[in-house]
Structure 1
């Protein structure tokens, strides 16, 4: 029988194999702008990350630009388009705090997928970043197990770059998962997550099945944290929220991950010891990918490349 790992700050009786721990106040952090930090195509090639998809709209690409656009065209805040798009951008921004780099997609061939991206968990932050497909359900109605079947279908129709054995499906909703949803997640042969993210971006519940844990996510866990100064308007108590953790510690947010990737890229460039005014980086990477199709040449302890690997690549580059 498949297991389901369920973690949230709502009802402790529902917990299974991992416990929730009270911790220091949680600072919920939205990045200033996703597009300010997006990785370049060259960086994506170095770390074998899928290409960023084309945005579904030329009018907006984050929550701030969408709100400006909605105000400009007088889009009703109660409309399905407004509610759905606002929630997708909120989820995109909120989950950056846990090292998820997500992009909105759309169109007739999106297979019902709202966001695609990569999850840069510690020990997986470079070449082994987990691919994720996200469906956002900003619905007030009760959500049933049919949503799990829809997500499984979306995984089978994943876009190019996400058709790998390292791809997980994520259902996100402002509602808590029902028993039917939990049972469907546990039965699924696909690696699946459920995240309850409120309309303001607060993470309140995280569930994943045993198949997801098989992707090397054993250290993934949660803590219940108390928002600094955040008081629930109805109860008057300090609001609780869930924080994802890795091996008991905080997961570096996506801003820090991107800074780390860029540092590694800079080290990679310097490791060749060539005059870049005479060598094209893209052409060099073309040769590296041809000679080492399964990955980059192994660096030495000081980060430099072996003389054999360097000479092999540079000789092939000169022959072009």
Structure 2
């Protein structure tokens, strides 16, 4: 039986999975990744990913632009809007290092969801990535199990593109999960993940329930890592890192580069260079010829000659 141990001395919960490992060699893993992702509309089509939602604000779309906007309008740093928006952008940016491509959403019909996106874990990189709905709770008060029930309600009202059996709910907070929260996560029939992300973006805790593991999170692990703090203080910092089958998870920059390489390879394998057709038109034809999904690739990843001929003939007729 597998357990999740939060800290020595706390009771283990056997409905949770993956232990918090002891120590690993120090490696600060704060990402300097750009916030603007490279998942183009074509990338989303070829990998069957949901369309990116429209941004909730015309004034900012990442942490840098939000800070400039807040300064321009003299938004008080202690205000609820400032604290909440700042935290959402911090979470969005920091979780890119664990292959999460997230977007802020908002509006009357957001069902309390702050971020939506896709989680490109290694074994899903060329499959349909796991969809995620994220609620960020930058609260100073003690967090209770009502937050879990709220997230379950958000999943039931998921936006179009996230209403699938491959969608997980993620609660993110700068506070550690209480026993009540852990118990509620374990009891839930929904796939749920908890992440403790501090206000500066440091990941401190990650939990997920058995239902989430059924979505293929079995190889996901958690490691504690230590690093040097400020030189003048001589302190030691501690954070946790998510791993996959014992190795670091490629960050979103790496994922995006890999997806782009695969796209180029995909176009090449159809052997349509002589027709001067753009890849959007090619994908339209492939989807029309194979409405139930693309044909199975050869061992080397190429497309069979018969399937190539079907697409070439359809292109010539179009």
State the TM-score, normalized to the length of structure 1.
0.92
Cα distance in structure 2, aligned partners of 1:91 and 1:281: 34
Cα distance in structure 1, aligned partners of 2:311 and 2:223: 47
Among candidates 226, 242, 256, match of residue 240 of structure 2 = 242
> Aligned with 2:222: secondary structure?
strand
- Give the C-alpha shift of residue 12 in structure 1: 5.9
- Is the 8 Å Cα contact of residues 203 and 241 (structure 1) preserved in structure 2? yes
2:186 is aligned with 1:186: yes
Cα distance in structure 1, aligned partners of 2:149 and 2:89: 24
The aligned residue for residue 65 of structure 1 is 65
The aligned residue for residue 26 of structure 2 is 25
Cα distance in structure 2, aligned partners of 1:26 and 1:215: 29
- Is the 8 Å Cα contact of residues 168 and 191 (structure 2) preserved in structure 1? yes
- Is the 8 Å Cα contact of residues 33 and 97 (structure 2) preserved in structure 1? no
The aligned residue for residue 155 of structure 2 is 155
> Aligned with 2:240: secondary structure?
strand
Deviations 1:127-172 (A, max 9, x none): 2310000000000001111110110011011111111111000000
> Aligned with 1:139: secondary structure?
coil
The aligned residue for residue 273 of structure 2 is 275
Cα distance in structure 2, aligned partners of 1:232 and 1:221: 30
Unpaired runs of 5+ in structure 2? Answer: none
The aligned residue for residue 85 of structure 1 is 85
Structure 1 moving runs of 4+ over 4 Å: 14-17
Unpaired runs of 5+ in structure 1? Answer: none
Once structures 1 and 2 are overlaid, which stretch shifts more, 180-189 or 270-279?
270-279
> Aligned with 1:216: secondary structure?
helix
Cα distance in structure 1, aligned partners of 2:60 and 2:285: 37
Cα distance in structure 2, aligned partners of 1:107 and 1:53: 11
Change (3 A) 1:12 1:44: farther
Cα distance in structure 2, aligned partners of 1:134 and 1:84: 13
- Give the C-alpha shift of residue 95 in structure 1: 0.6
Change (3 A) 1:318 1:14: farther
Cα distance in structure 1, aligned partners of 2:164 and 2:218: 20
Highest RCO, 1 vs 2 (Cα 8 Å, sep ≥ 6): 1
Cα distance in structure 1, aligned partners of 2:270 and 2:201: 43
CA RMSD of aligned residues (A): 2.1
**Counterparts in 2 of 1:181-260, with a 5 A limit?**
181-227=181-227, 229-230=228-229, 237-260=235-258
Cα distance in structure 2, aligned partners of 1:34 and 1:5: 35
- Give the C-alpha shift of residue 271 in structure 1: 1.2
Aligned length: 314
- Give the C-alpha shift of residue 313 in structure 1: 1.5
State the TM-score, normalized to the length of structure 2.
0.93
Cα distance in structure 2, aligned partners of 1:293 and 1:202: 44
Once structures 1 and 2 are overlaid, which stretch shifts more, 22-31 or 238-247?
22-31
**Counterparts in 2 of 1:270-309, with a 5 A limit?**
270-275=268-273, 278-309=276-307
Change (3 A) 1:273 1:252: same
The aligned residue for residue 135 of structure 1 is 135
> Aligned with 1:82: secondary structure?
helix
Deviations 1:192-230 (A, max 9, x none): 011000000010111110000011111111110013x22
Cα distance in structure 2, aligned partners of 1:124 and 1:19: 23
2:10 is aligned with 1:13: yes
Deviations 1:237-259 (A, max 9, x none): 41211111111111011110110
- Give the C-alpha shift of residue 315 in structure 1: 1.4
Once structures 1 and 2 are overlaid, which stretch shifts more, 120-129 or 207-216?
120-129
2:101 is aligned with 1:101: yes
The aligned residue for residue 167 of structure 2 is 167
The aligned residue for residue 74 of structure 2 is 74
Cα distance in structure 2, aligned partners of 1:173 and 1:236: 28
Change (3 A) 1:162 1:4: farther
